[in-house]
Amino acid sequence: MSQASQVRTYDPSASVVFLKTNERFGGLSNMAPGFPLRVNGVRIRTSEALYQACRFPHLPEVQQLIIGENSPMTAKMRSKPYRRVSRHDWDFVRVKIMRWCLRVKLAQNWREFGRLLLATGDRPIVEQSRKDDFWGAKVAVDGTLVGMNVLGRLLMELREQLKGDEAESLRFIEPLAISEFLLFGQPIEAVQATPNAEIPGWNPRRPSPVDAVQPPPSDPQPSLFEQPMIPNAEPSSVPSHPTLARNDESRKQLSDDRPSVHDWLGDLPSRWDVLRSKYLFREIDDRTDTGTETLLSMRQAHGLIPHAKVSTKPVTPEELKGYKRVRTGQMVLNRMQASNGMFAIAREDGLVSPDYAVFQPLRPIEPDYFVDLFKTTIYRAKFRQESKGLGTGTSGFLRLYSDRFGAIHVPQPPEDEQRKIVQFIRAYDLRVRRLIRNKRRLIGLLNEQKQAIINRAITRGLNPDAPMKPTGIDWMPEVPEHWEVKPLKWLLKSIFGGSTPPSAQANCWDGNVVWVTPEDISRNTRLSGSRRTITEVGLLACSTTLVPPGSVIITSRAPVGNVALADVELATNQGCKALVPNTSVVDSEFLFELMRILKPELESLSTGTTFAEISTARLARVKVALPEPNEQRSILSAVHEDIKPLETAIEQAEKESILIREYRERLIADVVTGKLDVRNVEIAVPADEPIADEGDALEEDLDGDDAEVMEGADADD
C-alpha cells in the first residue's frame, strides 16, 4: 500500500479541523493539556509524551527525560536528539502505538475526551498541520486540506467504536502485542477507565453476548493500515557504537562481556565486579558545632567549590552550625538532584548542606570514575526511579535516600582501569570543549551579523539614501523623514499585566490555558506553549486577562526586556506584560523586533529596591519611530531574505554542536560501563587545550538544560 493511496482531501467547512489546543476541538490534539494519563502507576501529562516515550523502550533514561517535562511540545523536543536510536521497528509499529495511546487517553479521560469525540458527530476529523501531512493534512492552494491524516482517521475510528457495540470494551485497554512494550524497563500493563465514569447524554448500544467475545490476544488492536505507511520500508538497524583509533590489541571486540543480571545496566566485562554501592561507600554524618569551616556549594560543571566564589550573599558561622563536614576525597550527593547527576568529589575540606549526603569510600577507588558513572543517563534514570517523596512526581519533591542509593548495583572495574577511564574522559573532554567553544563563537558572530541587519532595517528602513530627520530619542536619533514618532501606547490596543493565583487556591494548574512566566520567554521567542498551564478557576482566582495571539510579551521584572511573540491565546504571571498591537498602526512582528531592540532602554527605565521592574506607565511613554504598516511588512520581508543564509549557517552549527554533545554523552556512557575498552588506547592531550575558566558557560552547556543546580546553604528542612 503506497503513500499516495493513503492521501485524502478534506473540505474544511464540512470537517472538524483542529490546529491549536485552545480551539473548540483542540482537545483532540495529542498536545492538549488537561487529559492526564497513568500507565504502570506513572503519571504522564499528555498522550504526546506517552507516544514519544514508546519510541525508546530500550532506553528508560530517555523515557524519563520525556515524561518528566511539563510541556508536551518540550517532551516532543526532548525526544528529538535520540530519534536515530528509536526502537528498530518504529516505522512499523508507530500507528499501532498511536492508536493505543488514543485509547488510553479515552479510557482515563472517559467523560471529557468521550464527550469531545462524540461532539464531532459524523464529520471527518482532520488535524491541520503546517508541515506534517502524515499524521495531519496541509492546506492546499484551493483551501482544501490534503494529507494522509492518520491521527484524524484514528480518532474517527475511535469515535465509531465509541458509538457502536464496542463502546464498553474501550474502558479496558490491553497492552499492545508487540515486542519490548516497556515503560522504565517494566512491561506495560492493562489500563482501565474509572468504573463509574459516564459521558453526559451518551447512550451506547449494549453489546450482545456474541459481540462481547474478546478479540484474540495475539492481535488485540489490529492495524488501521495493512502495511507501514512509508515507501519501501524495512526495519532499520540500530546505529553501531562510535569507534576510536586504537592499537591492534584494543581493536578486537570485547569477548569477555557477560550478561548482567540487572537488565537496566546491560552487559559488563567479566573482569569487573558488580557490587551494591553500600559495599563501596559508607555515609558519614559529621556535623560542625562552630560553623567556621569553608562553606562549599555544588555546581553541575565545577563540582564542589567555595560558596564565596559563586555568591556574594554573606553566611555567618552561626547560620552554618549543624552543617555537614566533608573531607578531601569524599563523595557528596545532592539528594534532591540525584536524577540530574548531582554528585561531586571534595577537593578540599569544608561544609555542605545538611540535606546532602557525604560518603567515604570503603576501598581503594578512583572516585572520579564513579562521579562520571553516576552522571550518565542510565544512572540518572535509576536514581529518579529509586527516589522517594511527595506523590507529585516532580524532581523538586523527591529525594534519593541513602538506603535506596546503597541498594543500587554499581560496576567496579580494577582500580588501574578506573584511572585509565578517567584519564581518557578528561582528555576527550578537552577536545570537545575546544570544538564546542569554536561552534559557540561562530554562532555568536553569525547572530551578531543577523541582528545588525535587523536593527538597521527596523530603525532606518531599506533606502540608505532616504532623507532623515532627528527624533529626540537617544537610542534612535534619526529616522527617515516620513516615519512617525509616537509614544508606545499609541501603537497598542492595551497593555496587560499578569498575576498568579493564591497559593492556597485549589484546581488552578494543569488546565487548558497556556500560562507564561519569564522563564518561558528566556527559552523561546515564539510562544505556542509553556512549562505550566492554568485552569479557568485559576484565571478567575488571579483576575488575569487572556492575551490574544499576535501579542508581544515582555519580561517586566528582572531580567527586564526579554521579548517573545504569542502564537496562541495565553495568560501571564506578574513578571510579564503583554503588548496587544493595534494592527492598523503596527505589524505584530515589526513590534516584536522593535521591542527586542528596545531592551537596553527598558532596562535603564526599570526601578526597584528588591528587584528591578518597569511599570506600565513608564512602558507606555517610551517613544518609538516607525513607518506605516505596508512599509513595515516590506521591511520585514526584505530582512527575512537577507538573513536566510545566516539562519541556515546558525542552524547547521547548532546541529553540529548537539551531535558533538550527544556523541560525548554516549561515548562516556560506553566507556564507564565497559562497552568500549580503553585500556590500550593511547591518550594524547591536545597541545592547545583550552584554559579552564570558571566564568565560562561552556561546561554548563555540555551538561544540558539543568546545567547548574546549586543549593549551597539553602537546605530543605
Residue 229 pLDDT: 40
Residue 255 pLDDT: 38
Residue 3 pLDDT: 55
What are the C-alpha distances in Å from 698 to residues 301, 302, 437? 9, 11, 7
Instruction: Look at 29-43, 384-398, 449-463, 511-525 and tell me which has the smallest mean pLDDT.
Output: 384-398
Residue-wise pLDDT tens digits, 528-548? 888 888 888 888 888 788 999
Q: Is the pLDDT of residue 646 over 90?
A: yes
Beta strand 468-470 with 478-480 is antiparallel
Question: Is 483 buried (19+), middle (13-18) or exposed (0-12) by CB count in 10 A?
Answer: buried
Nearest partner of 254 among 679, 543, 612, 541, judged by Cα: 679
Amino acid at 507: N
Residue 263 pLDDT: 64
The mean pLDDT of the chain is 83
Residue 233 pLDDT: 37
Q: Is the pLDDT of residue 227 over 80?
A: no
Residue 247 pLDDT: 40
Residue-wise pLDDT tens digits, 626-643? 999 999 999 999 999 999
Task: Categorize the per-residue pLDDT at 250 as very low, low, confident or very high, splitting at 50, 70 and 90.
Answer: very low
More confident residue, 682 or 139: 139
Residue 214 pLDDT: 40
Residue 671 pLDDT: 94
C-alpha cell at 144: 482544501
Task: Categorize the per-residue pLDDT at 709 as very low, low, confident or very high, splitting at 50, 70 and 90.
Answer: very low
Residue 4 pLDDT: 55
More confident residue, 532 or 286: 286
Residue 82 pLDDT: 87
Mean pLDDT in residue range 352-364: 93
Residue 172 pLDDT: 85
Tell me the residue ranges of DSSP E strands in 48-165.
125-127, 138-139, 145-147
Residue 524 pLDDT: 87
Contact by Cβ (8 Å): 507, 537: yes
Q: What is the CA radius of gyration of the chain?
A: 29
Task: Categorize the per-residue pLDDT at 339 as very low, low, confident or very high, splitting at 50, 70 and 90.
Answer: confident
Task: Categorize the per-residue pLDDT at 267 as very low, low, confident or very high, splitting at 50, 70 and 90.
Answer: confident
Mean pLDDT in residue range 706-710: 35
Is the pTM here over 0.75, yes or no?
no
Q: Cβ atoms within 10 A of the Cβ of 513, count?
A: 22
Task: Categorize the per-residue pLDDT at 551 as very low, low, confident or very high, splitting at 50, 70 and 90.
Answer: very high
Q: Is the pLDDT of residue 556 over 90?
A: yes
Contact by Cβ (8 Å): 554, 565: no
Task: Categorize the per-residue pLDDT at 213 as very low, low, confident or very high, splitting at 50, 70 and 90.
Answer: very low
Nearest-angstrom CA–CA distance, 436 and 80: 20
Contact by Cβ (8 Å): 359, 283: yes
Domains of the chain (ranges, CATH numbers): 4-192 (1.10.357.40), 265-427+671-702 (3.90.220.20), 462-626 (3.90.220.20)
What are the C-alpha distances in Å from 325 to residues 328, 337, 355? 10, 20, 12
CA 536, 540, 541, 544 dihedral sign is positive
Nearest partner of 528 among 26, 135, 124, judged by Cα: 26
Question: Is 575 buried (19+), middle (13-18) or exposed (0-12) by CB count in 10 A?
Answer: buried
CA dihedral of residues 655, 660, 662, 663 (deg, nearest 10): 140
Residue 354 pLDDT: 92
Task: Categorize the per-residue pLDDT at 200 as very low, low, confident or very high, splitting at 50, 70 and 90.
Answer: low
Q: Is the pLDDT of residue 223 over 70?
A: no
Q: Is the pLDDT of residue 201 over 80?
A: no
* Cα 204-210-211 angle, rounded to 5 deg: 35
Q: Is the pLDDT of residue 76 over 70?
A: yes
Residue 475 pLDDT: 87
Residue 430 pLDDT: 87
Residue-wise pLDDT tens digits, 103-141? 999 999 988 899 999 999 999 999 999 888 899 999 999
* CA atoms within 13 Å, Cβ hemisphere of 602: 27
Nearest-angstrom CA–CA distance, 213 and 259: 42
Residue 389 pLDDT: 67
Residue 388 pLDDT: 83
User: Which range scores top for mean pLDDT: 33-37, 491-495, 682-686?
Assistant: 491-495
Residue-wise pLDDT tens digits, 481-523? 999 999 999 999 999 999 988 865 667 888 889 999 998 998 8
Contact by Cβ (8 Å): 566, 578: yes
Residue 205 pLDDT: 54
Residue 541 pLDDT: 86
Amino acid at 377: T
Calculate helix-pair angle for 377-386, 60-67, nearest 10 degrees. Answer: 60
Q: Cβ atoms within 10 A of the Cβ of 359, count?
A: 23
* Cα 679-685-689 angle, rounded to 5 deg: 150
C-alpha cell at 303: 563540582
Peptide bond into 215 cis (omega under 30): no
Which helix (H) or strand (E) is 440 found in, with range?
helix 415-460
Q: Is the pLDDT of residue 585 over 60?
A: yes
What are the C-alpha distances in Å from 693 to residues 191, 591, 697, 699, 703? 52, 39, 9, 9, 16
C-alpha cell at 73: 511540545
Q: Is the pLDDT of residue 607 over 70?
A: yes
Nearest-angstrom CA–CA distance, 477 and 601: 13
H-helix segments, 465-587: 518-523, 536-542
Task: Please provide residue 186's backbone torsions phi and psi, each rounded to the nearest 5 degrees.
Answer: -110, 140
Q: Is the pLDDT of residue 364 over 60?
A: yes
